[in-house]
Amino acid sequence: MSNQNIFYPSKEVISKANIKEYENTYKRSIEDLEGFWAEIAGRVDWHRKWDKVLDNSNPPFYKWFVGARTNIVHNAIDRHLTTATRNKLAYIWEGEPGDTRVFSYHAVNREVTKMANMIKSMGIKKGDIVTIYMPQIPELIFAMLACAKIGAAHSVVYAGFSAKALADRINDAQSKLLITADGGWRRGKIVDLKKIANEAAEITPLLDEMIVVKRTGHDVEMEDERDFWYHELEKEDFVHNKCETEVMDAEDMLFILYTSGTTGKPKGVKHTHGGYQVYTSFVHYAVFDIKPEDRWWCLADPGWITGHSFIVYAPLINGATTMLYEGAPTYPQPDRVWEMIEKYQVNILYTSPTAIRGFMRFGDAWVKQHDLSSLRLLGTVGEPINPEAWLWYYHIVGGGRLPIMDTWWQTETGGFMISPLPITPLKPGSATKPLFGIDADVVDEKGETVEPNEEGILVIKKPWPGMARTILGDDERFKQIYWSDFAEQGWYKTGDSARKDEDGYFWIIARIDDVLKVSGYRLGTAEVESALVSHKDVAEAAVIGLPHKLKGNAIHAYVILMHGVQETPELEKELKSHVRKEMGPIAVPEKINFVDSLPKTRSGKIMRRVLKAQALGEDPGDLSTIED
C-alpha cells in the first residue's frame, strides 16, 4: 500500500479472526446483495422464513425479509434458554458507587418477563411506543427488551436531556407510559431524573402512567394513580407469570430513536425487528470478532444508538457477556475504566475519541499501573479520531499489539458501515473500508466519483438490512433529508464529507449539513439556535462548531439581543443556563458572542460558514450571495 504509516495485525490476530478474508467476500456481497444477506440471515431464528429478501419496489421505502415472522427478543433471549448460554453471564453491571449486579441469560429472561407483564398491565399493546428515561442501570435494558417482547416499540430518551426535550419526544411518539427511575449516579451526585420526568409530565397531555425504578433512594414526588414504584409492582403475583414473546412481522417497528437533524424538530428514526437483528448482530460478530469466552465492553450509554445496537441487541443475539457501568468513566479516579478492565478481565473495549482524549489528558501512568493484558481488541466511534489520540490508544492502552476498529456509522444505519475487520491493515484516523454489502462512495454534487484523496460527499449506493425505515410520522422528511440529493441514482446521503485514498481507504472529514458533533454527541445547530431564541432577551441566534481539544467541536453562539437589552457577563451565563434547561447540558454553548448583525444570504439564510471562517481567521470563500 502507498501510505507509510500502516499498522498490520499480528499473525495471532489473523489466525483467530472470525472473518479471514475481505476482498472476495466483499465483491460477492455487492454483486449478489440478496444472496449474501439471505445467507447471513441464517445466523438468527425465524418463525417463518421470508418470501423475498429485499423489496425495492417503492424506494426509498425498502423492505427486508418480506413476509418473514420473528421477534428480536426470541433471538436475543429465548433461543438461548435451551442451550448452555442459559447459564452464561449476559451482563456484569457496576454502579458508580461500586455496587455490582450480574445477570445470566436465564436471569435476563426473568427480569424482562416481569417488566413485560408490568407494561402489559398498563394497557400497552403491540404498536404502542413506550418512552424510557433511565440511568445506566440494568432495568434500562430490561425495559427496552420488555417492550420488544410484547411487540410495543421503545423510545429511549438519553438521561442527559431536559424536561422540555423529554416532553417533546413523549408527544411526538404519543407515549402513554414512561419508564424512569428516581435518579442515577454521575460524578458522585444524584441526577434527579424523577423530578425532570415530573416536569415533563406536566407539559405533555398524553402521559397516563409512569413506572419508577428505585436506584438512588432519595426523596421523590410520586403522583397517586399515575406513578408506580417498580419494586411495589414486583410484589404482585401476575408479574411473575410467563409472558409469550409476540411473533412480529420482520418489518414491524422495534424502536424509535430521536436524533438531531438540520431543523429544530428532533426526528424519530425508526428501526424494525427483522433487518436490524440480522445486520447489527452480524457486524458485531465480524468487526469485534466476538467469541463465546469474551467479555465485551461498549462504553456508551444505552440511550444512544451505540448502546441500543451494541450493549443490548447485538451482544445478546451473539450470546456475549457485556459490561455495563453506570457512571462517569474518570470517576472517582481517572483510572476507573482501567481498574474495571483489570478487575473483570475485559477482552474488548469500544469507546469514543472524546473519551480517549479525556483519558489522555490525565497522563499515561493511570493506564500503565493496571494489567490490561486481557484486552485483545479496541474500538472507537462517534467522530473522526485524530491520529494523536489513535496512537495513544494504540500504544498506551493497547500496548502496541491491539488492532483498533474505527467504526463509522450513524443512528440511521443501525450498525457499523465503514470499519476495519481485525485482519485489516490500519491507518490511524481512517475507518478503512466498507463492510460487506455496503456500497459506499465519495462523490461530487452531480454524483460523479471524485478523484482519490479529493474531498466529497459520502453516499451509500445500495440498501442494507439495518437501515432506518423512515422518520416517525414523516415519510416526506425521510425522503427529503436522506434521499433527495441523489434521487435519480437512489443513493443514501449520509450528511458527512469524506475522502477515499489511493488504497480505497475512507477518511471521514466532518458533517456537511448543519449538524455538529460535540463530544461525539449529535446536535443540530437549529436546535441550539431555537433554544437561544426562546429566551425573551434574544432576537436572533446563529450557532457554529469550532475545533476543541477535548470535545472535537465546541458550540459557539452568536446572538443579537432584543433592542435595549444590555450585553453583560451575567446575561451570557443566564443564556447558557437557559439552553441547559431547554435542551440539557450537552447543548450548552462554550461561548456566546453578542453581535449587531449576522451574515445572511439574500433569501435570509444565516451563512454559518462565514462566521466559522471569521472565527478561525480563514478565507470565508465566495461571498457573492451575502446580503450585507
Cell of 526: 437549529
CB of 300 vs ligand WT7, minimal distance in Å: 8
CB of 81 to ligand WT7, least distance (A): 30
CA distance 611 to 548: 16
Show contacts with ligand WT7 in window 513-542 (CB under 6 A): 517, 522
Do 460 and 472 touch, CB atoms closer than 8 A?
no
Among 287, 381, 561, 610, interactor with ligand WT7 by CB under 6 A = 381
Strand partners, 70: 248
Residue bearing cell 446575561 = 571
Asked whether the beta carbons of 245 and 45 are under 8 A apart, the reply is no
Interacting residues of 380 by C-beta distance below 8 A, sequence separation 6+: 350, 351, 352, 353, 356, 390, 393, 404, 405, 406, 407
Cα 472–chain centre separation: 17
Question: Measured from the CB atom, is 351 or 494 closer to ligand WT7?
Answer: 494
Task: Specify the residue, 142 or 408, whose C-beta has the smaller distance to ligand WT7.
Answer: 408
Q: Which is nearer to ligand WT7, 174 or 386 (CB)?
A: 386
* Residue number with CB closer to ligand WT7 (41 or 431): 431
| Residues in 395-434 that interact with ligand WT7 by CB under 6 A | 406-411, 431
Taking residue 59's Cβ as centre, other Cβ atoms within 10 Å add up to 12
Instruction: Select from 270-278, 317-325, 377-385, 612-620 the region that touches ligand WT7 (CB under 6 A).
Output: 377-385
**Eight-class DSSP state of 86:** G
Environment class of residue 6 by beta-carbon count within 10 Å: exposed (0-12), middle (13-18) or buried (19+)?
A: middle
> What CA–CA distance (Å, rounded) separates 580 from 266?
17
Q: How many residues bind ligand WT7 (CB under 6 A)?
A: 21
Rule CB under 6 A: is residue 347 a binding residue for ligand WT7? no
Give the 3-state secondary structure of residue 247: coil
Smallest gap from residue 26 Cβ to ligand WT7 (A): 19
Applying CB under 6 A, among 44, 143, 278, 508 the residue interacting with ligand WT7 is: 508
Per CB under 6 A, which of residues 278..307 are in contact with ligand WT7?
Answer: 305-306
CB of 124 to ligand WT7, least distance (A): 27
- Strands (E) located in 519-551: 521-524, 538-548
Residue 457 main-chain phi, psi, to 5 deg: -100, 130
The distance of closest approach from Cβ of residue 133 to ligand WT7 in the complex, given in angstroms and rounded to an integer, is: 18
Cell of 407: 467504526
Nearby residues of 197 by Cβ (< 8 Å), 6 or more positions away: 133, 163, 166, 178, 180, 210, 212
Under rule CB under 6 A, which residues in 301-340 are in contact with ligand WT7? 305-306
CB of 381 to ligand WT7, least distance (A): 5
What is the nearest approach in angstroms of ligand WT7 to the Cβ of residue 128?
A: 25
**Rounded least distance, CB 579 to ligand WT7, Å:** 19
Of the candidate residues 511, 551, 576, 608, the single one contacting ligand WT7 (CB under 6 A): 511
State which residue, 151 or 465, has the beta carbon closest to ligand WT7: 465
Cα 349 to the chain's mean position, in Å?
16
Residue 66, strand partner residues: 52
* Residue list 238-277, contact with ligand WT7 (CB under 6 A): 259
Helix axis angle for 163-173 and 569-582, nearest 10°, is 30
Q: Out of 135, 495, 545, 584, which residue is the one contacting ligand WT7 (CB under 6 A)? A: 495
Of 227 and 514, which has the nearer Cβ to ligand WT7? Answer: 514
CB of residue 409 to ligand WT7, shortest distance in Å: 4
Is-cis flag, bond preceding 452, omega within 30? no
Residue corresponding to grid cell 449516579: 185
Closest CA to 140 of 104, 106, 111: 111
Decide whether 474 or 537 has the Cβ nearer to ligand WT7: 474
- Contact letters (x/-) for ligand WT7, 115-154, by CB under 6 A? ----------------------------------------
Q: Which residue's CB is nearer to ligand WT7, number 408 or number 436?
A: 408
- Per CB under 6 A, the segment of 337-345, 382-390, 533-541, 597-605 that binds ligand WT7 is 382-390
Coarse DSSP helix, strand, coil percentages of the chain, rounded to the nearest 5 percent: 35, 25, 45
Residues in 474-493 at the binding interface with ligand WT7, rule: CB under 6 A: none
Q: In angstroms, what is the minimal distance from the CB of 101 to ligand WT7?
A: 26
Neighbours of 222 (CB within 10 A): 14
Min CB(287)–ligand WT7 separation in Å:
11
Task: Kindly tell me which of 113 and 281 has the beta carbon lying closer to ligand WT7.
Answer: 281
Compute the C-alpha angle 60/61/66, nearest 5°.
135
Q: Which of 268, 302, 382, 420 binds ligand WT7 (CB under 6 A)?
A: 382
Give just the sign of the alpha carbon dihedral 574, 576, 580, 581. Answer: positive
Beta carbon of residue 506, minimum distance to ligand WT7 (angstroms, whole number): 9
CB 1 within 8 A of CB 452: no
Instruction: Report yes or no: 74 and 245 within 8 Å, Cβ to Cβ.
Output: yes
Task: List, in sequence order, every residue forming a beta bridge with 101; answer none if it has no partner.
Answer: 93
Q: Which stretch binds ligand WT7 (CB under 6 A): 69-77, 89-97, 142-150, 378-386?
A: 378-386
Report which residue type is found at 288. Answer: F
CB of 353 to ligand WT7, least distance (A): 8
If the CB atoms of residues 245 and 354 are measured against ligand WT7, the closer one turns out to be: 354
Contact in structure between 265 and 464 (CB atoms under 8 Å): no
Considering the complex, state which of residue 183 and residue 266 has its C-beta at the smaller distance from ligand WT7.
Answer: 266
**What is the SS3 string spanning 250-301?**
CCCEEEEEEECCCCCCCEEEEEEHHHHHHHHHHHHHHHCCCCCCCEEEECCC
- In the bound state with ligand WT7, the residue whose beta carbon lies nearer, of 70 and 352, is 352
Using CB under 6 A, which of 55, 289, 326, 496 touches ligand WT7?
496
Residues that bind ligand WT7 (CB under 6 A): 259, 305-306, 381-384, 406-411, 431, 494-496, 508, 511, 517, 522
